[in-house]
């Protein structure tokens, strides 16, 4: 089964995508994580991506499309996968449509009011090693600064400051939100307010699991 997650920054889509990937035993492909990894490695792609990611702008389509096309061809994707953070533009959606021609997929839209997503972004902590996401208030790690899953160090993403968060919302509204209409025939909307467990239960119910 192939799932695509849509939702504004801070909607909790990454957390839900990770839970669903565990449930179905399929890879969780988070493009933001892949890009941050290429930046850490200092590869050519990473050098180009850095400025965009840190400013909260979209990395050029040609680059993200190529990364995703290559990633979903890998053998671990043969029974399905979850895309989180891709597509984020019409051009990416068109490219994905071609790459997935003949395959069935569902688009999950995590719906949350704007004020809540801003609050969730501020206070978010990410694991430098495995990419797991925590929140100081809503989902704190058991031990401060340490990832529950892998023991990696937690850090606050550079693009989680208020100014960059505002840019990310603007980009979301302009480029990504129109995809809700683009996918209207495949869209499954899930109310994303409340705790992680409650949202996940609603998600499974909406998928008929
Ligand atoms: P995320 O971890 O999903 O919040 O993504 C962090 C940043 O990575 C975004 O603000 C963009 O700069 C970049 N990024 C992630 N996904 C995409 C995409 N599909 N297209 C372009 N840039 C992306």
Q: What is the pLDDT of residues 66-99, one digit of tens each?
A: 999 999 999 999 999 999 999 999 999 999 999 9
Q: What's the CATH code of the domain at 31?
A: 3.40.50.300
Residue 206: predicted pLDDT: 97
Residue 71: predicted pLDDT: 98
Same domain, 21 and 32: yes
pLDDT band at 3 (very low <50, low <70, confident <90, very high): very high
Strand partners, 108: 5, 188
Tell me, in angstroms, the distance from the centre of ligand 1 to residue 1's CA.
23
Tokens standing for 153?
Answer: 């160090």
7: pLDDT strictly greater than 90? yes
Q: Which domain holds residue 65?
A: 2-113+160-207
pLDDT band at 121 (very low <50, low <70, confident <90, very high): confident
Residue 97 inside a domain? The answer is yes
Per-residue pLDDT tens digits for 124-171: 999 988 888 899 988 999 999 999 999 999 999 888 888 898 899 999
Q: Is the CB of 80 under 6 A from ligand 1?
A: no
pTM over 0.85: yes
Same domain, 81 and 52: yes
Beta-carbon contacts of residue 15 (< 8 Å; ≥ 6 apart): 133, 139, 196
Tell me, in angstroms, the distance from the centre of ligand 1 to residue 12's CA.
15
Tell me, in angstroms, the distance from the centre of ligand 1 to residue 31's CA.
6
Q: Whose CA is nearest to atom 6 of ligand 1?
A: 32
Residue 118 inside a domain? The answer is no
Active-site residue 120, yes or no? no
Give the chain's mean pLDDT: 94
Active-site residue 13, yes or no? yes
Active-site residue 157, yes or no? yes
Looking at residues 171-180, what average pLDDT do you find? 96
């Amino acid at each position: 089964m192939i799932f695509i997650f849509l939702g504004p920054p801070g909607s909790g889509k990454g957390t839900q995508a990770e839970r669903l990937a565990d449930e179905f035993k399929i890879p969780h492909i988070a493009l933001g994580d892949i890009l941050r990894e290429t930046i850490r490695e200092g590869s050519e792609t990473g050098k180009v991506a850095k400025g965009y990611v840190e400013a909260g702008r979209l990395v050029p389509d040609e680059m993200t499309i190529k990364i995703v096309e290559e990633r979903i061809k890998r053998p671990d994707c043969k029974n399905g996968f979850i895309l989180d953070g891709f597509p984020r533009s019409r051009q990416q959606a068109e490219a994905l449509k071609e790459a997935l021609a003949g395959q069935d997929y569902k688009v999950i839209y995590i719906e949350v009011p704007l004020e809540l997503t801003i609050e969730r972004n501020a206070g978010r902590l990410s694991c430098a090693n495995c990419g797991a996401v925590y929140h100081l208030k809503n989902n704190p790690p058991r031990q401060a600064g340490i990832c529950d899953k892998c023991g990696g160090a937690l850090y606050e993403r550079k693009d989680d400051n208020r100014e960059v968060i505002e840019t990310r919302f603007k980009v979301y509204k302009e480029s990504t939100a129109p995809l809700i209409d683009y996918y209207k025939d495949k869209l499954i909307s899930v109310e994303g307010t409340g705790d992680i467990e409650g949202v996940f239960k609603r998600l499974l119910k909406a998928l008929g699991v």
